[in-house]
Structure 1
Amino acid sequence: MSVRRPRVLLAMAPELLPRLLDERAARRLHAVAELDPEVVADDFGRPEVAVALAEAEVLLTFWGAPPVDAGVLAAAPRLKAVVHAAGSVKHLVTDACWERGITVSTAALANSRPVAEYTVATVLLSNKRVLQLREEYRTVRGGRHEWHLRYPHAGNYGRTVGIVGASRIGRRVIELLRPYDLELLLYDPYVTDDRAKALDVRSVSLDELCRTSDVVSLHAPALPETEAMIDRRRLALMRDGATLINTARGSLVDSAALTAELASGRLQAVIDVTEPEVLPADSPLYDLPNVLLTPHIAGSLGNELHRMADSAIGEIARYARGLPFLHGVRREDLDRTA
């Protein structure tokens, strides 16, 4: 099998390049591809980028890459593949790419791992009532309490965790939670009963999942049919003291209804994604003691970006050897994926 070094153009926010490619990854990329690391496309119209684009066979993209539309493709006669070193390609790969037959790969699987790990950690901490215990311990500093008497219902033994969406991340969360003494429920309209059985979960309706789970964890894509799927009515179905975890998309939840429930103190929440993406400064969610609010960091952060880089470089190495991508994206799957 012949091995060659295809011409690659980097497309991303330039300031992110050193965060994505450390010295080890850069050496590995140069071993399998030809590229100019000084040319980073955050705008395909710049003169030096246009020259590189005309020669590029592969785009290695990351956060901040501009969309690859018909105009870009017209200026890239040799382009055959887009390798995205991050998750969703919906903002990046346009219909023109599919019509031309551009092959596409994503590092979504690599990015799913830290999201799943974050989710599992917060599931376990939520059932342990860590947020309430932290707040109460602060108020009695220097004093003593019989915590076992005050929190008789805390703990993970026999708790029910509801997973909304058997996405890459949802399936990984199920896998990671399986060793614990938990009952796992799943709502996903695309998953058959046989598939749910293979995942070792019980398939239920979304209403039943909300009504019977101690923790509800969201892993569905942002689609018209999933917008505000967790609305005021379904929030009201949740048990007193239950926890909602959202590491998927803020649009899955009715934000006003969730804020009202959390302000009442009836529910807990772990919120990594919001609608809007950055909450206004006066949002109560910043200060509520029953809320763990983080700024969309459940996915790859810090050195976890290197896992996505390794995945993308591995795909370029396969392309150079004439092999199909391991993590290829199909146009027909985009309607029900993130």
Structure 2
Amino acid sequence: MTSTKTPDVWLPLPAEEIEGLPEGLNYLFWDGAQDYPADPADCAFYVVPYMKGPEVAVRPLAGMTAVRIVQTLSAGIDHIEPGLGLLPVGVRLCNARGVHEASTSELALTLILAFLRGLPGFVRGQDEEEWRSGFYPALADKSVLIVGYGSIGAAIEDRLAPFECARVARVARSARATARGPVHALDELPALLPEADVVVLSTPLNASTQGLVGAEFLAAMRDGALLVNVARGGVVDTGSLLLELESGRLRAALDVTDPEPLPSGHPLWHAPNILITPHVGGSTSAFLPRARRLVAGQLSRFAAGEPVHNVVRTTG
């Protein structure tokens, strides 16, 4: 006899807060609590809790024997990848393309401008009642290199457009052409890094990018260049970066670190020439409306038997 049980959907947001959810699915709220809302074996569509870390993301996967879709609310999938081998064959993993581009690119520009124009020093000067006038670098006429030219990298370039940069160069895993110009392959970095005043990291964290920004990468950057990381902390080798910062040769503005959260007493906190924000690239007022629209759209396609969007991996 064919089962008529309504498929379970695990959501990290209450279903009543998401407009446009299709009927015919059983919506259950789970945001990483110790207790599951139901048997994981009945879950057909799993929306991964946001910013709860890999331990929470992966914990129910071994029991999800009937799951068909795993949907992250992050652009990166590194927090869920360790558990993909626990899933049945044919499960589609979808990321949150379209959710974080606006917020993350906003922060990338904020970090660049704040650092170049001396805002951290001005804030400290205000605390000390000091008038720290003088000349400071501008973004205008600078050369910018974007390493990781997916949807977020392209959104960063969109926001660079009004700032009269001398040049914007783009790097991704493989070379391709775009309306704005060529995208260079990763193996072209040695020729591109010495030309950049600002290097922005927006690449996924995977086997090819883990520790990509190590001693060799950093040594190729020009003296005084600014490294901006809105990707993942593991893309940068922290020890190598610390050596360059402490020498005074390079500067850095980081939204992500390795380790993360950065523990009290870590030397990165007090390194010279650094600005640190606590992984807030995507966590803005823009997140929830876009996340809700993504989830509603994906579930509507799923309920109608249509292909879901943003598939980045299929197990098996």
Q: TM class, shorter-chain normalised?
A: 0.7 to 0.9
Decide which moves more: 87-96 or 229-238. 87-96
For the residue of structure 2 that corresponds to 1:226, the secondary structure is: coil
Structure 1's 8 and 217: CA in aligned 2 closer, same or farther, altered over 3 A?
Answer: same
1:110 aligns with 2:110: no
Structure 1's 83 and 261: CA in aligned 2 closer, same or farther, altered over 3 A?
Answer: closer
Q: For 2:31 and 2:280, locate their aligned partners in 1 and report how far apart those are by CA, in whole Å.
A: 25
Q: For 1:294 and 1:144, locate their aligned partners in 2 and report how far apart those are by CA, in whole Å.
A: 23
Q: Residues 92-111 of structure 1 correspond to what in structure 2 (within 5 A)? A: 94-95=84-85, 97=87, 99=89, 101-111=90-100
Cα distance, 1:138 vs structure 2: 6.0
Match of 1:34 among 25, 30, 41: 25
Match of 1:65 among 40, 52, 57: 57
Question: Hey, what does 1:184 align to over in structure 2?
Answer: 168
The one-letter code matched in structure 2 to 1:7 is: P
Structure 1's 49 and 175: CA in aligned 2 closer, same or farther, altered over 3 A?
Answer: same
The one-letter code matched in structure 2 to 1:187 is: V
Structure 1's 303 and 163: CA in aligned 2 closer, same or farther, altered over 3 A?
Answer: closer
Tell me the TM-score normalized by structure 1: 0.75
Structure 1's 45 and 121: CA in aligned 2 closer, same or farther, altered over 3 A?
Answer: closer
Cα distance, 1:232 vs structure 2: 2.4
1:314 aligns with 2:302: no
Decide which moves more: 176-185 or 103-112. 103-112
Tell me the TM-score normalized by structure 2: 0.79
Residues 245, 273 of structure 2: 8 Å contact kept = yes
For the residue of structure 2 that corresponds to 1:186, the secondary structure is: strand
Match of 1:286 among 264, 269, 272: 269
Residues 86, 308 of structure 1: 8 Å contact kept = no
Cα distance, 1:308 vs structure 2: 1.6
Higher strand share: 2
The alignment yields a C-alpha RMSD, in angstroms, of: 3.3
Cα distance, 1:299 vs structure 2: 1.9
For the pair shown, which has the larger CA radius of gyration, 1 or 2? 1
Q: Residues 78-227 of structure 1 correspond to what in structure 2 (within 5 A)? A: 79-90=67-78, 91=80, 94-95=84-85, 97=87, 99=89, 101-135=90-124, 141=130, 143=131, 145=133, 147=134, 150-151=135-136, 154-182=137-165, 183-192=167-176, 195=177, 197-200=178-181, 203=184, 205-227=188-210
What per-residue deviation string (whole Å, max 9, x for no partner) do you get for residues 111-142 of structure 1?
2332122112222333334345555666672x
The one-letter code matched in structure 2 to 1:185 is: A
Unaligned runs of 5+ in 1: 12-16, 333-338
Question: Hey, what does 1:246 align to over in structure 2?
Answer: 229
Residues 114, 299 of structure 1: 8 Å contact kept = yes
> How many equivalent pairs are there?
301
Cα distance, 1:184 vs structure 2: 0.3
Structure 1's 24 and 246: CA in aligned 2 closer, same or farther, altered over 3 A?
Answer: same
Residues 6, 320 of structure 1: 8 Å contact kept = no
